[in-house]
Chain A
């Protein structure tokens, strides 16, 4: 029987503005079991990225709670949340966020080295081969194409074998064909490693490939569906 890895209860986020408190997320609740996948969908400005940030412990809610891998994030300070991220979380970003100063291999090695992995280079090499970049290992990342950069980002995200992978519009910067290839790769690796996947997208086709989806509109949870 699989356990609940992500439990979200009455999550709200407000920010101060010139016209008083502005609600950007209101009363979101759901649960996700280990190995499942969830798409967060909605239009631009609907609060998708805000929700992702709260789920990953990058930000704190104004009210409500997020429990990730048994840790109630809203009761932890920033350093404790960082420790939870280190142990359980991986990320893929729309803008890839690779470090220009490092080559592809070094980018993937970085989280492994941070986790004191015994053989970061070999593991990083295996992952890059897995994503089809065996001929690009030593390439400076700024010379890679968008698709290739996102593959490096995928390899980096799966490097530490996280329990939960958060992906923010992973195909947002890619053409549809490349986006599809990346999506295939993402789901395949997700399957292989049994990772829980939470992705933000405005692409309904991509969302349809996830087991669950949550639709947001102006910060409110409109529906939580099982596909």
Chain B
């Protein structure tokens, strides 16, 4: 038949409109809308949320990208081809004496320009105890100092302070400086001045120790390009930092959150995929006659296929549009709900999630719906006379191949860890196959048991046993839905618990350093009187690693190697009898007192890896003019998130008795404890107190955002799961209605029919729950181990899954198929 392509297209759309009333088309449409809405809203939401979180996290650097250097930066580094597209600021930091009429104090002076900070804001007070002001920066002629400096120099607002050759006026008390929070080693008190006052101060001489920092902010793509451009011309004394380096805790939290969001997204899409596959299969089966008729009317195989394909493609486009709109509105509503928690300027987000949503629907349709659709092209026209003729099913490899290609495409689109997800999917597939076979034979063996049961059981189980392959498929599909939902709930609570455990409410928020051994008893007593949580006091001395196994350490590595930074600076060294709480020995043993003639040292695992050393190797440290030869007796992991003093290198105390040292600790003070802090500084003027509240506050904010996002996305997955469940049950509705009508026509009561249905659903639900339980434990083990770095333990509550499955499937099933009970037997008999 010479039917023009446009006519075929027109006809396809007309047919689609005419068939809009059919259940299978509605379910297919609905499943596609869910897939697109969940993937685009989760995609859009997580993209914007990541943007928002990066914005908050960028505060730790006061920028998106920072180049720091001990020498002035090269002009080529400041003016790269991308610099014009980015906002920029620069700061200088150096140590200098601050002088008033009566006293002197060494301070860390930071000179900032008019653009600083690019991310976050400075916070300050106009008077001690006054209201905290956000924003602003010192203007020319002004100096801002922190509370410690205010106290030690006995200053009040309006006083004059000398820095070098210039005199500046104290205008504010600096309470928060975004890029200082992340650096726990900035111990000296802070004074902040305007960059233009540097010349007059005349403090920078050749050879002065100055830290130059160039800051950039802008869109992620340009920042990446800028980073790449700078990376190539980085000098040994320079360091590039971005969010990843800014704060390990934040980037860890972000990485886990991103993994979780992507996993949730994949879950929602997979759930919808199951629905698409089921409803597309039903769509195709319902059109066997139509396809045969069309072939009788003269349509070629290709035209027939094209007609159905166009219909589904149109449906997918329509579903994409509506799904995308719903997705966009949903994320808008989510952000409205979160408005109090997130930064004011949330990045708008790109069009990519919308495109991704549309691509998802087309890819899903192609992967999950194409195989049954191909069957329509194979309908022999003779079916109009011989109804028993059904099309040759597509080859198995086509079926599984298309599903595999679809999943790969979806994973690629979601930037998932290919290796892990593939392992999960292949593992899951093999497990499903193995369990499916077991289930198949178990069902078959039930025949024997069935003979002695009552009619309701015989009817319901009979239905399952008559088509064991179909039943196994159905159970596996429901198991996948339950597994996905359980896994997402499981991960949510594990992640949240983990984060909560990391940041207990009274985690230490102050560090005290430079405590002299003679001050220890008094300081300990005072700190215990004001703080509810004090870490142990650790002795600290500075030392440099000079030799490894008798060889000069710096000769063993390339000049540009990362480890050279460790070798070229003084390390904080400590000694203790007891292994610190948040340390775990991974190799060797912790020392017993006086159990060796050699000097003993314990190294942090990552440092040991960088140095290429193991237990038994010998290290030489240069401490206060003396060389100490020590043997490595253990390697440790350290929880750097613990807000406790942590050390790369710990010695056995027996060898360090005579070493000159100071002490350090960390402790918790509630909010608004400025007065206690100032009192402490007054009583122990030589001790430096460093407040790290800001780090904790920011971290908690970010985690609160992530937590909320996770809770909301969980709702999405649950909604998708339940809807897909209904869709899946609906796909067997016609057969159920027919069978129900027949049984009723034969004289069965409505009650018997209800029993039959209930038993069948309960059994399917319980079996699905059982499989989901096993699958969930296996996949959670893999995920904990490889993606989230969490400790895995069996989850007892998962044992409730068979019961939950039975209840859920029975209630959704009974609700979804109530038509079976309510329909008159006459309705399905031929008229």
Contact = CB atoms under 8 A, between A and B. Distances in A.
Interface of A: 49, 52-53, 56, 58-59, 78-79, 82-87, 89, 91, 93, 95, 97, 99-103, 106, 110-111, 113-116, 144-146, 168, 173
A103 B2 CA distance: 26
Interface in B269-299: 289-290, 292-299
Which 9 residue pairs of A and B lie closest in terms of their CB atoms, listed nearest first?
A86-B298, A86-B1, A79-B300, A101-B19, A58-B382, A85-B298, A58-B381, A49-B385, A101-B22
A129 B387 CA distance: 30
B567 interface: no
Contacts of A87: 1, 298
A83 B385 contact: no
A116 B3 contact: yes
Contacts of A101: 18-19, 21-22
B299 A86 contact: yes
Given A82-B299, A101-B21, A114-B297, A93 B384 contact: yes
Interface residues of B, number: 33
Contact of A93 (B11, B295, B385): B385
B831 A146 contact: yes
A73 B4 CA distance: 24
A143 to B, nearest CB: 8
A114 B387 contact: no
Contact of B1 (A53, A103, A115, A173): A115
Given A97-B293, A103-B18, A116-B7, 5 more contacts: A53-B382, A82-B381, A85-B381, A87-B298, A115-B298
A114 B294 contact: yes
B794 interface: no
A75 to B, nearest CB: 17
B463 to A, nearest CB: 24
B19 A102 contact: yes
A106 B18 contact: yes
A77 B149 CA distance: 95
B14 interface: yes
Interface string B21-51: 1100000000000000000000000000000
B830 interface: yes
Given A83-B1, A101-B18, A102-B19, A114 B384 contact: no
Given A99-B290, A116-B7, A82 B830 contact: no
Nearest to B290: A99
Given A82-B295, A85-B296, A86-B299, A146 B19 contact: no
Contacts of B21: 101
A168 B297 contact: no
Contacts of B1: 82-83, 86-87, 114-115
B8 to A, nearest CB: 9
Contacts of A52: 385
B298 A82 contact: yes
B657 interface: no
B294 A91 contact: no
B419 interface: no
Interface in B380-412: 380-382, 384-387
B386 A49 contact: yes
Contacts of A111: 297
Contacts of B3: 114, 116
Contact of A78 (B4, B289, B294, B301): B301
B387 A95 contact: yes
A96 to B, nearest CB: 10
